[in-house]
Structure 1
Amino acid sequence: MTEVDNRQFPAQGSEQFFTEETRKALAEASRLLAERLLAHTEALLAMTGSEEQTALFEQNAALEEVVDGWNDAVFEHTGTAPLLLDDEVEEVEEEDEADQDHLISVVSRFDLKVVDLDALLEAGRAAQQRHPVEVDDPSDPDPVDTAEQAIYEISRETGEAWFELPGVDLVAGARAYVVPEYPFEPLEADADDVITEISAPNGTVTHAETWA
């Protein structure tokens, strides 16, 4: 049984409703809906699953547009809306929000200036020697011959040691804490292009820190 909205049902003879103009508009909207529904059904029955998803989305969007027009025509004629489309959408959105996880994205960047390469390399080599060997990686570790490799080895051992790296000055740093907005695109840790993944998602920045 179709629900009715909260509007008061108009009395017969109302000048606003049940006019000849609204009758013609409803008849035309119903004709368009019938034609669109038939065309939509025929298109779906012809699909095999090999089509692009966009073809299905286009069919659904076309039907939704005609349904909205028919629903408006019914309201213009009777003062009631037989299909409470907006209310149903809001109810689904509320349920989705209740099921969403509480996620926080922490994004940071630090620009470093090497002022004593020898000290940095020495610290990196020492960190590599102290760091446990990866069990699933039987290959020899990369030699610590660059500043980048040295910083990598130190960070593997101590974490984010940006303020205590030997032979390195911190030029600038920034960190943001973001509560993502849905739909949320999660970080792909195994993505081929890591750089594109290291960016703040759309959302609300709750805290921010900067160093210079």
Structure 2
Amino acid sequence: MTEVDDQQVPGSGDQFFSEESRRALAEASRLLAERLQAHTEALLAMTGGPDEQNTLYEQNVALEELVEGWNDAVFEHTGTAPLLLEEEGEDEEEEEPEEEQEQLISVVSRFDLRVVDLDALLEAGRSAQERHPAELDESGEREPVDSAEQAIYEISRELGEAWFELPGVDLVAGARAYVVPEYPFEPLEADADDVVTEIGAPNGVVTHAETWA
């Protein structure tokens, strides 16, 4: 027998064991006994034919209704419910597994460089372009390496972030942050018109930071 939570227990007042609840329980028990006997006889007479499915369903529904009524009558009389029956429409929905969020890390860096030997830098940039030529421009020619920024671009295409090894260049300052973004996360738009705005670090937790000067 299962006690129902947050309900008054027998003996704690005049709510239970009244003459009215006694008569109601007796009637509910009589109806349930009759229905149970009829239900059993109907099932024993079945052979499993396809035309018996509707009859079986009707028999089950009729018995279920009387079982619920009897269970309610027991509760009204004793304050306890022998059967834990789920009421229609109160079935707990199956919890859907939470969608696992992919792990993301944003690495944002900035390096300020001072050119101290432009000729050495341009020569290194042209050599890098020869070894790793970039896409040709609209005229079908390579971008001429005649500026510090073009030279640094060509060297970086070949070596990556070679800020400490650029010929003719001193590192003024540098900083790098590793950020675990907070959701909702707006990813970097590589094709955005305003690339400078996109380079900013997203909202999140900085896990590591490095600085150079």
Q: Taking structure 2 as the reference length, what is the TM-score of the superposition?
A: 0.53
Q: CA RMSD in A?
A: 2.6
Matched, 1:144 2:145: yes
What's the CA shift for 1:139?
Answer: 2.2
Paired with 2:145 and 2:136, the residues of 1 have a C-alpha distance of 20
Paired with 2:183 and 2:155, the residues of 1 have a C-alpha distance of 36
8 Å contact 2:135–2:142 — kept in the other structure?
no
CA separation of 1:205 and 1:184: change in aligned 2, threshold 3 A: same
CA separation of 1:8 and 1:149: change in aligned 2, threshold 3 A: farther
What's the CA shift for 1:192?
Answer: 0.6
Percent of aligned pairs with the same amino acid: 79
- Letter matched to residue 126 of structure 1: S
8 Å contact 2:106–2:181 — kept in the other structure?
yes
Q: What's the counterpart of residue 126 of structure 1?
A: 127
What's the CA shift for 1:100?
Answer: 1.1
- Letter matched to residue 158 of structure 2: E
Structure with more of its chain in helix, by fraction = 1
Paired with 1:102 and 1:188, the residues of 2 have a C-alpha distance of 18
Structure 1: give runs of 5+ residues left out of the alignment: 1-6, 11-87
CA separation of 1:100 and 1:135: change in aligned 2, threshold 3 A: farther
CA shift digits 1:108-139 (9 cap, x unpaired): 00000000001000100111111145489882
Structure 2: give runs of 5+ residues left out of the alignment: 9-92
Bigger CA radius of gyration? 2
Secondary structure at the aligned position of 2:123 is classed as helix
- Letter matched to residue 163 of structure 2: W
- Letter matched to residue 192 of structure 1: D
Paired with 1:138 and 1:99, the residues of 2 have a C-alpha distance of 49
8 Å contact 2:173–2:212 — kept in the other structure?
yes
Paired with 1:187 and 1:136, the residues of 2 have a C-alpha distance of 26
CA separation of 1:194 and 1:116: change in aligned 2, threshold 3 A: same
CA separation of 1:138 and 1:158: change in aligned 2, threshold 3 A: farther
How many pairs were matched up?
Answer: 125
CA separation of 1:99 and 1:169: change in aligned 2, threshold 3 A: same
